[in-house]
Amino acid sequence: MLNNTTLLIALRASRWQNVLRAFIIFILSLCLALFLGSQGFGSAPRHTEILWDTQGVPHIYGNNNRGAFRAFGWAQMQSHGNLLLRLYGQARGRAAEYWGEEYIDSDKWVLTMGVPNRANSWYKAQSPTFRSYLNAFADGINAYAKAHPELIDDEVEIVLPVKPEDVLAHLQRVLNFTFIVNPEQVAGMTDKGSSAGSNAWAIAPKRSASGNAMLLANPHLPWSDLFLWYEAQITAPGIDAYGATLVGIPVLAIAFNDNLGWAHTVNTHDGWDTYELTLAGDGYRFDNRARAFETKTHSLKIKQDDGTLREQPLLVKSSIHGPVVAEKDGKPVALRVVGLDRPGVLEQWWDMARSQNLNQFESALKRLQLPMFTVMYADREGHIMHLFNGQVPVHSQGDFAYWQGTIPGDTSKTLWTKIHPYRDLPRIIDPASGWLQNANDPPWTTTFPPAIKPGNFPPYMAPRIMDFRAQRSARMLAEDEKISFDKMVEYKHSTRMELADRILDDLIPAVRKQGGKLGQRAADVLEAWDRQANADSRGAVLFAFWVEQMDLEQAFSKPWQEGSPLTTPDGLADPKSAVAKLEAAAAKVEKTYGSLDVAWGQAFRLKYGNVDLPANGGDGELGIFRVVEFAPTPDGRFQSIVGDSYVAAVEFSKPVRAMVLTSYGNATQPNSPHVGDQLQLFARKQLRPVWRTRQEIKAHLQERKVF
């Protein structure tokens, strides 16, 4: 038993041991803090920084959100500075003033649509916090230009300094006045459908080999201009998201984090309408009364070859429907577009990327600030979702086909003023099938058995169709009971032509019966062909040339049927004509390439910058999931211009497994080594691993910028 003196000595010794231990811990902690505070890779930095990996992807670590936005502006300038400034100049409606006559039509469109003025009002309508983020993004752009003027083309420097309103003007030009509607559509050069496309899949745990939900994001856009994707990671308080956005947009538009992710596809959404007006004196007639046009005159400035400016007036007349954009049979035609009163698109995307579960994600979606695009979603908890997202006008009459035409504009009965709320939109969560797909088809065919019934929605919501690419997409998912991550990546690169599978069993017998010698040789090639569009596929060129001569809407004896969505259309409507066109196609192929069985990759090329490779993939109209569209070149070959742009395959395992590719590389600046540097992987049908942790990034670090 201890006496008091012994106990006191023991307590004092223990106290000094504790003090000494605490002092040692303090010194060690101080050393560690000093080490990490020197911007080491052990923890999040005290300052904002950009870590550039060897693929040219910026990994942004912001000590606050404003710092992250500023760094993202800097990063976009480093990768795409010339393009970004040119796009912002066009969004101002001053491109002809900066760069000459070829931009007159662009300026007319932007000014007629009221983009610059609306950008100012949208900026004022932002929340104070998000407005500060836009300011920071613009500051980052300007800071880069000031620090590296030698890396920016002289002719685009005139756009500087960039203002946050320019960002919002660019956003409008991209979303509302390119994706929703563009000048060519208004002029009648194309129909109301968009040429832009995409694929997206969501796979539930019940259909996943690993038991984890998986997501496939795969937009198909032109490989140039405002359609270019920019890949990045953004980490800041409350966010750690990886994905891509279009150049000039300050937030990620397709992304994933540790808990969830989403993809977008262009949906069969009708977000614009043209109205034919009946003139009444100097105005127009509406509800049996004459109304005056609202008018505004802009002064277009156009740069001449000698550097002087020529001025040209632009009179914009607007009715209650919107601006007058064309004339039909001597009558003015006015344009009405959704989304012009909803300035919160960027903040919604930002909050989608910050979400950690389905409830949070849907809370952001319910704002309906994003005017169009399907949303395909998957998360770690195993939920999958397809939302036919968009600002869909509420109509009192007509089906989808009716609203594709020009609408009488003399009555309020046809003038829409409201959009459907979120609860009205086609949507499915966790279908019984365990999978969801969209390949720009209407929501009714997102899975089988059908999970969204078209009869439960207004007839103008979406058409009732399913093309061959969508059928191919659904077929791959439906026929595989347990899909592994690697198999999903393999399916993503499938070049099998659903159209060939559907029609060759009718075409080849017709040729054997009716064709001449050339036709028989062509049939031999088609019989031996693997029905794919790989670089070494022989027969694909001949088949594609034949399809080019066919009117596919009239080619089949049995049209597409809702009750047989994956096996129709089918049968040749006019076998004799089809055989004659095959022989004509065969003659053209043989004359051009010297052989009927020319390899696909000899005729079709993947070309970007200085890279030129044999192609795989083809037009979605052929029923190919791996989409690449081509333009003819003077040497008789074809060059890639549209198609698979950004791909992200994600499995919500612990940790998340992800592989990606930005087809044309993550930069366009002439000094960058990343122009076209991923095209070799594209040609080999490969994706690259995502580097998200600081340890992974350090192992593949190319450059570091600390702010």
Give pLDDT tens digits for 494-523.
Answer: 999 999 999 999 999 999 999 999 999 999
> If you average pLDDT over residues 355-365, what whole number do you get?
98
Helix and strand element counts for the chain (H, E): 20, 31
Contact criterion met (CB below 8 Å) for 220 and 199:
yes
Question: CA torsion, points 264, 267, 270, 271, in degrees to nearest 10?
Answer: 10
DSSP labels, 613-644: EE---B-GGGT-SSBEEEEE-TTS-EEEEEEE
Number of Cβ atoms within 10 Å of the Cβ of 314: 15
User: What pLDDT, in 10s, does the model give residues 554-570?
Assistant: 999 999 999 999 999 99
pLDDT digits (tens, 9 = 90+) for 4-37: 444 343 434 444 455 445 444 444 444 433 333 3
Residue range(s) occupied by CATH 1.10.439.10 in the chain: 59-186
Confidence check: pLDDT of 340 > 70: yes
CATH number of 498-624: 1.10.1400.10
The 8-class DSSP code of residue 459 comes to T
Alpha-carbon distance of 291 to 293, in angstroms, equals 7
At residue 1, does pLDDT exceed 70? no
d(CA 254, CA 568) in angstroms, rounded, equals 33
Per-residue model confidence (pLDDT) at position 197: 84
Q: How far apart are CA 205 and CA 359, in angstroms?
A: 19
CA 335 to chain centre: 25
**How far is residue 543 CA from its own chain's centroid?**
29
* CA R_g for the chain: 29
Give the pLDDT confidence score for residue 522 in this predicted structure.
Answer: 98
Please tell me the predicted confidence (pLDDT) of residue 46: 80
pLDDT for 674-699, tens place per residue? Answer: 999 999 999 999 999 999 999 999 99
655: preceding bond cis by omega (within 30 degrees)? yes
Fold of the domain spanning 197-270+341-394+421-492: Glutamine Phosphoribosylpyrophosphate, subunit 1, domain 1 (3.60.20)
Class of domain 59-186 as given by CATH = mainly alpha
Distance, in Å, from the CA atom of 152 to the CA atom of 154, rounded to the nearest integer, reads 6
The Cα–Cα gap between 198 and 469 comes to 10
C-beta neighbour count of 298 within 10 angstroms: 17
Q: Could you tell me what percent of the chain has a pLDDT over 90?
A: 91
CA distance 240 to 581: 55
Three-class SS state of 53: strand
Task: List where CATH 3.60.20.10 sits in the chain.
Answer: 197-270+341-394+421-492
Q: What is the pLDDT of residue 187?
A: 86
Q: Assess whether pLDDT exceeds 80 at residue 353.
A: yes
Amino acid at position 197, single letter: G
Q: 154: exposed, middle or buried (C-beta count within 10 Å: 0-12, 13-18, 19+)?
A: exposed
pLDDT of the residue at 17: 52
What pLDDT was estimated at residue 21? 52
Query: In whole angstroms, what is the distance from residue 283 CA to residue 138 CA?
Result: 42
- Residue 481 exposure: Cα atoms within 13 Å on the Cβ side: 0
| Reported confidence tier of residue 192, pLDDT bands at 50, 70, 90 | low
Its pTM surpasses 0.85: yes
Q: How far apart are CA 272 and CA 267, in angstroms?
A: 14
Cis upstream peptide for 449 (omega within 30°): yes
Nearest-angstrom CA–CA distance, 559 and 550: 15
- Are 399 and 462 in contact by the 8 Å Cβ rule? The answer is no
Q: Tell me the per-residue pLDDT of 272-285, one tens digit each, with 9 for 90 and over.
A: 999 999 999 999 99
pLDDT 10s digits, 656-676: 999 999 999 999 999 999 999
Nearest to 186 by CA among 392, 335, 320: 335
DSSP output for 175-243: IIIIII--HHHHTTSS-SS-S-EEEEEEE-GGGBTTSS-EEEEEEEEESSGGG-EEEEEEEETTEEEEE
Query: For residue range 584-610, what is the model confidence (pLDDT) as tens digits?
Result: 999 999 999 999 999 999 999 999 988
Beta carbons within 10 angstroms of residue 94's beta carbon: 22
